[in-house]
Amino acid sequence: MIDTQLLVFAGVSLLLAVTPGPDMAVVTKNALAHGRRGVLLTTSGIALALVAWVTATAVGLSALLRTSGDVLFALKLVGACYLAYLGIRTLLESRQRPADLLAGAPPAAPAHAVFRQGFLSAISNPKLGVFFVTFLPQFVLPGQAVLSRLLVLGVIFAVIGYLWMNIYGLFVTRLREVITAPRVRQWMQRVTGVVLLAFGARLALERV
């Protein structure tokens, strides 16, 4: 028998995944800087963070974040500061004229550094915790084991998000191979930096 609730949940999760957010900005940044390798490492970091949020939700940590203003406020500040750091760093890097992509590949960044950027971008976003607490329980049917159901829903959400981020990131790398002019790349870095700063400010100022 087909679980229509799961189908509805998967559809909503897909819509949320394609909505631009801070994670997508980080994927864009690393796709432009490091190509396919950067995309896979960044999305893997994001996926690990999503798994952590799902697990935390299942055991009740997200409920604590929802009711504790101090913890939520602190986590919001951490996420905002990290996004601002990435944005400022990207803007500073854009001041240097990048080498022509056709002249040689850019130096590879350490894998752990690229992976960490994706992980911290998602793990420091308290909106994910609030989202899981308020959204996932709506798809737990009467009589179902709550823990196992929440884990299934969380895994579906994480897999959909992971697949979309990879598809999007690899599409960006194709653009990277076409747009080889250093000046164009410089302006793309600036736009990405501004987007990261904007998301950091929004996360710090808006009410969750």
Per residue in 22-71, pLDDT (tens digit) is 788 788 888 877 888 889 999 999 999 988 888 887 777 556 555 655 66
Q: At residue 106, what are phi and psi to the nearest 5 degrees?
A: -70, 155
- Residue 101 has a pLDDT of 42
Contacts (Cβ under 8 Å, ≥6 apart) of 126: 65, 72, 75, 76, 79, 208
Residue 163 has pLDDT above 90, yes or no: yes
Residue 128 has pLDDT above 70, yes or no: yes
Ramachandran sector of residue 49 (left: φ over 0; alpha: ψ -120 to 50; beta: rest): alpha
Rg, C-alpha atoms of the chain: 18
Residue 95 has pLDDT above 80, yes or no: no
> Bigger pLDDT: 18 or 117?
117
Amino acid at 14: L
Contacts (Cβ under 8 Å, ≥6 apart) of 139: 5, 6, 8, 9, 149, 153
d(C-alpha 72, C-alpha 126), whole Å: 7
> Bigger pLDDT: 201 or 74?
201
State which H helix or E strand residue 3 sits in: none
- Residue 45 has a pLDDT of 93
Residue entry with tokens 């919001």: 76
As given in the structure block, the two tokens for residue 34 are 């490091």
The mean pLDDT value for 143-160 works out to 83
Domain residue ranges in the chain: 4-67+108-186
d(C-alpha 122, C-alpha 32), whole Å: 19
pLDDT bin (cut points 50, 70, 90) of residue 5 is confident
